[in-house]
Chains A and B, each alone.
Chain A
Amino acid sequence: MRIAPLREICQARSGDKGNIANIGLIVYDKRHYEHVKRIVTSERVKEFFGDAVKGRVERYELPRLGALNFVLHEALDGGATRSLTLDPFGKVVSSILLAMEIEMPAGD
């Protein structure tokens, strides 16, 4: 079993609404969807971001698209209009998530 960054099998995009960031995580190959769904849980994402995400993490499933949508609450230092951080729009979090080291699906 090979450990590698999520980036090898998924693409992602993130953005903001108020103090909430969301990350759409999409598998390049739909055969990997169930594997990614099993491993990249909302708990794991919450733990991965640590202090950067103060609130809860919700996950929504889009099996037809082969995607998971993560909603990160209290993740933007109060939101884009008042944030002191360099990621007020939550655009960077997608790239950070893709660094998550996971077990690659069998055969990859």
Chain B
Amino acid sequence: MVTRKQSLRIGGGSACPGERIEPAIELIEKGEIDYIAFDSLSEPELSAFVKHKMSHPDEGYDTYTERRLRAILPLCAEHGVKVLGNMGGANPLAAHALALDTARRIGLQGTKVATVVGDDVLGLVKELNPEVEGSNKRALDFGDALIAAHAYIPADSMIAALAEGADLVIAGRVGDASLFLAPMMHEFGWADDDWDRMAMGIVVGHLMECAGQLSGGYYADPPYKVVPDLHKIGFPIAEVTDDADVLITKVDGSGGLVSRGTCAEQMLYEVHDPANYIGADVVTDLSDVDFKDVGPNRVAVTGTVKGKPKPDMLKVNLSVTEGVIAEGSLFYAGPGALERAKLAAEIIRKRLELVVDFKGQGLRFDLLGVNALYGPPESDATPVPWEVGLRVTARAAERDEAWKVMHELETIDNNGPAAIGRALRKEDVREVVAYFPTFVPRERVPTDFRIEDA
């Protein structure tokens, strides 16, 4: 008879590639955790990895991984903590090789590294040519601009890898929350149709996947919302029982805050219909959840979480090259700064339209400090700013076309309004890899894993 754990403590180690490392170290050393999961991916992050892989075919994963693994693997070995993460990005097997190499170089021979594959579905998408959500296109309508397709795959292969003794599980585009569900499924032996418990696992994963956003980050708004010691914010810990009771906390003495308020905000983060939070593993009904402060920085998940069967279709992230974006800013200060910034905008607009024949798909002028972020309510009289930035952005199909915008920004100082401070360079033209969602049938997306000892 298999002896199973009755409770688990899982740490949330990162919210993005390049995340701070010391909060994860604190979790491993002082958090009494069994697992730590690192989220490196979002829609734009995956696009960034795809973009990077175009020019660096051996990369396209979270390149901060080496530094992170060097710091944490010895501590994980010492404290018996297992690691999961989607740091594989758009190239999980390259991250796999890097992890093995890193473990060997720091003397951790024998570390079992498992990497999940199957999320790359470009071939399948080209075969099925599915409709692209929110557009009137099908996938093949993008032609050669469609450069990658990644399915949000379920936790299954991560669970299987843990069952084979993996110390480190690397994935690419698995659902962020699935990184946290996998150890619960593995340790508690929940049935793969135990929808209610799995849904609670997804609630935990969803809360934890942005790490510091659950423990006081992205929260402080004094005087209404005050968070202590953000300079040493501690990342969150979920304590879960085999019956899916959940407590959220953090390491004693760390900065930040775990409260009903931080949990409530994070639960709705990037959620649409809370009764149908769709993931690859289960459809979760979050609409009747609540939280209760049960101690300082200790919050119980209360209310009811219901699960519904996993969907037949998996969501796919299509990466599509879409020209370039040019961006630059100019700054004016002193009396009349706002008028001069507006005049500069007018000159640049006229130059682009009437003189240099700019053919773009978008041209935007923002007055920084005035109206760049929605602007104040109409009831507020616009104050006269002492300093104003003029931010100019444009989309164009070709780099040469976008360069016209940069050239106007570079030549306005001698030829435009008085008293300008600033200057931006041509490198501010960046390639766009846009994101589009579509769906493919689950049964056409087999997943697997490779496991090797360092």
Contacts and interface: CB of A to CB of B under 8 A. Distances in A.
B442 to A, nearest CB: 20
8 contacts: A13-B218, A13-B269, A16-B43, A26-B265, A60-B272, A65-B267, A65-B290, A80-B435
Contact of B432 (A52, A60, A82): A82
B434 A69 contact: no
Contacts of B108: none
Contacts, number: 129
B435 A52 contact: no
Contacts of B271: 22, 24, 69
Contact of A17 (B265, B270, B393, B434): B270
Contacts of A99: 377
Interface residues of A, number: 45
Interface string B346-385: 0000000000000000101010100011100101000000
B373 A64 contact: no
Question: Interface residues of A: mostly helix, strand, loop or mixed?
Answer: mixed
Interface of A: 7-8, 11-13, 15-20, 22, 24, 26, 28, 49, 52, 58, 60-62, 64-67, 69, 71, 78-82, 84-89, 91-93, 95-96, 99, 101
A99 B373 CA distance: 13
Contacts of A101: 377, 379
Interface of B: 42-44, 47, 134, 218-219, 221, 224-225, 261, 264-275, 286-291, 303, 322, 325, 327, 362, 364, 366, 368, 372-374, 377, 379, 391, 393-395, 432-437
List 5 A-B pairs, minimum CB-CB distance, nearest first.
A24-B268, A13-B265, A84-B393, A15-B270, A80-B44
B264 A22 contact: no
A69 B274 contact: yes
